[in-house]
Amino acid sequence: MIDTNNFLLRNLWYYALPSHVLKPGQMVARTFLGEPVLLTRRLDGQVFAVKDICPHRAVPLSCGRFDGQEVECCYHGWRFDPGGHCVAIPSLLPEQSMDLSRFDVRSYPVYETQGNIWIYIADGDNSQTSDPAKEIPVIPGFSEQSPELVEVMRFPCFIDHAVTGLMDPAHSPYVHRVWWWRAGELHEEVKQFDPSPYGFTIRRHQLSESMGRLYWLIGGGLPEVEISFRLPGVRVEEITLGKHRVCNLTAVTPISETETDVTFALYGIPAALKIFKPLMYLLVRQFLGQDRMVVEKQQIGLKHDPVLRLIKDSDMQAQWYYQLKREYARALSEKREFVNPVKSQILRWRA
Ligand code: FES
Ligand SMILES: [Fe+2]
């Protein structure tokens, strides 16, 4: 049984969007945690994010224009720099001088790395932030390289259901039943887990033969895998296959209480396999689509507000997620250091 966890964590970095979606001189409007956000990229490449509401009469700034330097509201032409500072009010006469800083728009810290844009969503108008270099997971071994394949899919659910689905080992044989992913029967799995920053890590292990037929098709023997998870819902999977290393970042971003974006980004596709990229896109879409489909069905039952049951050991990761989330919120409100509730242990399940 779990108690109420239906809250969105704030004061954290969330995955905003893949870098390539926002070209220099362009703007993109999005909603994160129910807040309308306007992301812009200046001509020099720098990314900014501000609240997408004009402080004058609330028209979304995204309805206006961005010339690569300033955003102009479509209603009365007030202009803002990408950092949200009001820089011009055209209706003012030269002698009607006014302190324009009274009309600044709230700005959000953003951080771009490895082909991804992250955004810090603070509590209220608080613009405090935490060190992105420490808080945003690094895809190991890819310095500033961008992912070679990115897919974003919107799930019709609250973030928790997307995350627990992502970290759920027991659903694969039922939800992802496709020939290339795995064989039909269930096998016992034994995995060593350790605490890691704001989450936990499944210690490096060799994929069993029944799993990962896809990798087996790629060749190079059985790959080794290490998977880490951290708040607010970021999973990094590192697959080592001979001398190749393929990494997958899956990040979950709440759009609202009822919608969540799941981003899947793949790094290090071996050169010889790049011609299969269209096929990989299909497979990734199929795979994420299966997760989305089951979450859609789950919504039918969740409408009745049932008590959900979590079992050992296959739901342990879901339980840890809820514990991590509660601890993060508690540590913040008590203004103390976060204490990771996860302890090193071995988990066993059939999948
Ligand atoms: S509403 Fe934006 S300038 Fe008036
Ligand atoms: Fe899944």
In a domain, 138, yes or no: no
Evaluate: CB of 225 within 6 angstroms of ligand 1.
Answer: no
- The residue-averaged pLDDT of 227-246 equals 92
Domain span at residue 337 reads 145-350
Residues 297 and 249 in one domain: yes
Evaluate: CB of 90 within 6 angstroms of ligand 1.
Answer: no
Q: Whose CA is nearest to atom 4 of ligand 1?
A: 76
Q: Is 241 exposed, middle or buried (0-12, 13-18, 19+ CB in 10 A)?
A: buried
Residue from 38, 78, 98, 100 to probe ligand 1 pocket by mutation (most atoms less than 8 Å from CB)? 78
Residues 168 and 316 in one domain: yes
In a domain, 303, yes or no: yes
Spacing, Cα 119 to ligand 2 middle (Å): 25
Residues 124 and 149 in one domain: no
What is the band of 1 on the pLDDT scale with cuts at 50, 70, 90? very low
d(CA 110, CA 139): 18
What pLDDT is recorded for position 271?
87
* Structure-token pair, residue 177: 């039943």
3-state DSSP of 296-309 = HHHHHHHCCCCCCC
Q: Note if the bond before 313 is cis, omega within 30 degrees.
A: yes
In a domain, 6, yes or no: no
Q: Is the pLDDT of residue 225 over 70?
A: yes
Q: Is the pLDDT of residue 2 over 50?
A: no
* CATH value at residue 203: 3.90.380.10
What is the band of 242 on the pLDDT scale with cuts at 50, 70, 90? confident
**Total domain count, the chain:** 2
* Structure-token pair, residue 133: 């270099």
Which residue has better confidence, 216 or 101? Answer: 101
Residues 38 and 156 in one domain: no
* CATH value at residue 73: 2.102.10.10
16 Cβ neighbours under 8 A, 6+ residues apart: 30, 32, 37, 39, 49, 110, 116, 117, 118, 119, 253
Task: Give, for 200, the enclosing helix (H) or strand (E).
Answer: strand 199-206
What pLDDT is recorded for position 241?
81
What pLDDT is recorded for position 265?
97
- The residue-averaged pLDDT of 245-266 equals 96
Last residue of a domain, one of 133, 163, 185: 133
- The residue-averaged pLDDT of 221-242 equals 92
What is the band of 220 on the pLDDT scale with cuts at 50, 70, 90? low
Last residue of a domain, one of 110, 133, 156: 133
Residues 87 and 151 in one domain: no
230: number of CA atoms within 13 Å, CB side? 18
Phi, psi of 338 (to 5 degrees): -70, 135
Residues 94 and 183 in one domain: no
d(CA 160, CA 167): 11
Type of residue found at 317: Q
Residues 232 and 101 in one domain: no
* Structure-token pair, residue 253: 């971003």
Q: Which ligand is nearest to the CA of 174?
A: 2
- The residue-averaged pLDDT of 332-351 equals 95
What pLDDT is recorded for position 131?
82
- Buried b / exposed e over 295-327, threshold 16 CB at 10 Å, is beeeeeeeeeeeeeeeeebbbbbbbbbbebbbb
Q: List the beta strands (DSSP E) in 269-312.
A: none
In a domain, 337, yes or no: yes
Give the lowest-confidence range in 87-96, 212-221, 245-254, 263-272: 212-221
Residues 206 and 127 in one domain: no
- The residue-averaged pLDDT of 332-350 equals 95
- The residue-averaged pLDDT of 129-133 equals 79
pLDDT tens digits for range 50-88: 999 999 999 999 999 999 999 999 999 999 999 999 999
Residues 112 and 172 in one domain: no
